[in-house]
Amino acid sequence: MTTKDSQFAKGDILTVTIDALATGGKALTRLEGMVIFMDKGIPGQTVEIKITKKKKRFAEAVLTKVISDAPDQITPRCSHFGVCGGCQWQNMEYSKQLEWKKRFVSDSLNRIAGAQDIKINDPIPSPETFFYRNKMEFAFGDKRGDKTVGLRRYGTHNVVDLHECYMQSERTMEMVNLVRDFVNAIPALTSYDANARRGYLRFLVIRETKHTNQCMVQIITGKDTTNGDQQHRAIRKLGHILQEQMNVTTFIHSLRTHTTQVAYGEKTIAVLGQKSLTEVLNFENGMPSLSLTSHADGFFQVNTDATARLYGTAIELAELTGTEKVWDLYCGVGGIALAAARNAADVFGMEITPQAIESANENATINNIDNVRFVSGDVRGALDNEPSKPDVVFVDPPRSGMNPEVIELIMERSPKRIIYVSCDPATQARDIALLSSQYTVTTVQPVDLFPQTAHIENIVRLDLTD
């Protein structure tokens, strides 16, 4: 075994103590003047690692064994923890999780945006730290001939056959167990093999509402290769069973032929029950509740009550008076736009997905809001064709952040205020660096939607520089 006093190389096994966590959740230690990034672990643990890559100034490694626990480590709730890739931090107190997430935000703004001496507010915690998710995507697998249903094994494409999970609801695991028993009773239903690129069962997606008692189950499969559509007919039977035994309000059978392992159906084969779900966001700051409808592939934040805190805080930071023209870029099903509309003169929302815009318009009708206008299409193209000049702009882009051309188009209109919501502090900081020629960061407010993981939502308010 290589010791700390010697040089090390790719393939070496080292014993180290974890010093800190890096943005995104990787653990790190410093050795021989280099930083070693590990795939997992928490500060204070002494661990055995294997070096997988060595560069001039840093190295990468995988954690192979925990030798001794961290002094403040706690016992994880789930027996699958450390094997399943769903949670990273169940062995860390929630207060410590929030401390590290705040540090991630601070590090990104300082290192990438060059924003020094900016106060980072303490993260707004999630109302619940377990059973908080409203959506889970499970994969089908195979283990010695038995079909499995679960999440990916940490760092691999293999499926951990889950028999407990504390991220969604207890009813979720009842449905997972029912689906597992059903598919194992029918030999014609085979699990998809990503390496061989064959097999039928691909994904099980379960979505639940927090406040309206609705549930959508989506089974995503490959093509039926049997005589008489035996596989498709079996899935339809499964849908009826889930409706009868688990009170599922929507069952969708979707087809995916692309080999990329993404839980997205390219074609709908069958729909039983309602075509969409309607959730209610209950705000804590006196704002009226908001009803939001979304379809099977529509984006909706996975933590309902924490989302109400996220959107409510974004609206508060905007300081709307009722006279402003507002833009909501990457508006999804219209959550922020509709919440803002009640305190603005008019709102213009943009989103690339036509189905999301369909839901956004439906949501405007449901909530009796008539001072909003939604457009589907690429944000760059939509902005090129939009003559209005906004006073306030909300942006909530995907993890990759905004395109530089979109940032230029925003700055050309010079809104007084930008409220930037992001699920990735690093790409957010990159975009803020581009905006800094005209805008000053005045508020940074993290909001935690993802307990037990390293992910954090962050809101930054930027004001037009005088």
423 catalytic, yes or no?
A: yes
Is 5 annotated as ligand-binding?
A: no
CA–CA distance, 401 with 166 (Å, rounded to integer): 30
The answer to whether the CB of 295 falls within 8 A of the CB of 355 is yes
Dig out the tokens for 190 from the structure: 């085979």
Q: Tokens 């689906």 appear where?
A: 179
CA–CA distance, 65 with 436 (Å, rounded to integer): 44
Is 330 annotated as ligand-binding?
A: yes
CA–CA distance, 212 with 264 (Å, rounded to integer): 25
Q: Where are the beta strands (DSSP E) in 247-352?
A: 250-255, 267-273, 277-281, 290-294, 325-329, 346-351
Collapsing DSSP to helix, strand or coil, 359 comes out as: helix
Tell me the chain's radius of gyration from C-alpha atoms. 24
CA–CA distance, 343 with 362 (Å, rounded to integer): 20
CA–CA distance, 39 with 63 (Å, rounded to integer): 6
Which residues on adjacent β-strands are paired with residue 60?
A: 37, 53
Task: Spot the catalytic one: 78, 165, 215, 423.
Answer: 423
The DSSP code sequence of 73-137 is ----S-TTBTTBSS-S-TTS-HHHHHHHHHHHHHHHHHHTS---S---PPPBPPS-SSS-BSEEE
Measure CA of the first residue to CA of the last residue in the chain; give whole Å: 60
Residue 94: count other Cβ atoms within 10 Å of its Cβ: 17
The torsion of the CA quartet 23, 299, 452, 136, rounded to 10 degrees, works out to: -130
**Active site (catalytic) residues:** 423
Residues tagged in the binding site annotation? 301, 330, 351, 396
Residues tagged in the binding site annotation for S-adenosyl-L-methionine? 301, 330, 351, 396
